[in-house]
Amino acid sequence: MTISVTLRPLAPANESPGETTPLAGGPLHFAACEAVVRETRDGGIRELARARLAPGEVPSWAARFGPGAVEQARRQLAALSAPRPAFAGLSLTQPCLMGILNVTPDSFSDGGDRFDPGRAVADGFSMIEAGAAILDVGGESTRPRSEAVGEAEELRRILPVVRALAEGGALVSIDTRRARVVAAALEAGARIVNDVTAFTGDPRGLSLAAEAGACVVLMHMQGEPRSMQENPIYADAPLDIHDYLAARVAACEAAGIARGRIAVDPGIGFGKNLAHNLRVLNHLAVLHGIGCPLVLGVSRKSFMTKIVPGVAPKARLPGSLAANLAGLARGVQILRVHDVPETAQAVAIWEAIQGGGGD
């Protein structure tokens, strides 16, 4: 039997720091949190208690479930408020944009647009000029029901692009689940590894990233791309994802990757139905309890068509902006997006409004 405690900050907002607790050391603060205690026994999960509490009330409330629960509560409270260190050299005091650079013929919304390496490199530098801090280069589509690409083909697609961007001064992330591609991309100049399997698909990538001193993004995915949307099941999607990512962070630390080099991504659309996606988006702040920066990838995702039917991928900018701004309101630090100029403008306006309060 295992007891777990999870804390979700409620209604983060720009409040007086003297009255509230800072969220991840950023501009948002919270005055209350939802505390949940769950029990895992024989492979099943059962919720024992749930309460809305002020941060100072959490430890004494958790005490009824034993000293281990109190220790978990104290650790999460500290993680919820602690400032996040720079990630891959980027300050997280304001939102960062990660531009999506797919060099594939079959990605769900931009397949073929940048299959030519020269076009991909030029578009990457244009994204930087428009406000992207990171360029995330991917050579294999992981859209629902996609088929795997051969390792040699993935390398052929990404290496000239990664090398040219890195030589031009860009901060490059490699979006891959293969250790050999991790090694080659890091050698070509990538500094971040973004793995949709959180290094469970090819665990060798974890040691390679550790040895290279790379930063990593760990994403949650239930199942694998070809079948992940068939029947996803969760006890409580945000809490299950929290627990999974917390365990993967611990695995990274055990492999020699410091927590300051780790970011986490809830994996919107990866093994989740509409109800799961919406609940995870609404409860994103629970992931701050892991103590790592949050990456959110909602750009052009198909869950939007379940809400507004018939909208083609490249016509989903309004929905993407709405979901990204909802993420910022819950303390997300890094937005992974296709439409960099438009998102940069929306973020700038959101920040101005957030900072323009007062009486």
Catalytic site positions: 301, 336
Give the DSSP H/E element, type plus range, for residue 61: helix 58-62
Report how far residue 257's alpha carbon sits from residue 251's, in angstroms, rounded to the nearest whole number: 9
Find how far residue 127's CA is from the centre of its chain: 20
Tokens of 263: 């970011």
- With contact defined as beta carbons under 8 Å apart, do 341 and 130 qualify? yes
Closest by CA position to 98, among listed 143, 142, 128, 139? 128
Q: How many helices (H) and strands (E) does the chain have?
A: 11, 13
Q: Which helix (H) or strand (E) holds 97?
A: strand 96-102
Rounded to 10 deg, the angle between the 151-167 and 117-130 helix axes is 50
Return d(Cα 66, Cα 70) in angstroms, integer: 7
Question: Which residues in 228-243 are b (16+ Cβ under 10 Å) and which e?
Answer: bbeebebebbbbbbbb
* Cα separation, 334 vs 60, whole angstroms: 34
Produce one character per residue of 146-157: b if its CB has 16 or more CB atoms within 10 Å, e if not. beebebeebbeb
Task: Determine how β-strand 134-138 pairs with β-strand 96-102.
Answer: parallel
Distances in whole angstroms, Cα of residue 173 to Cα of each of 124, 214, 247: 12, 10, 23
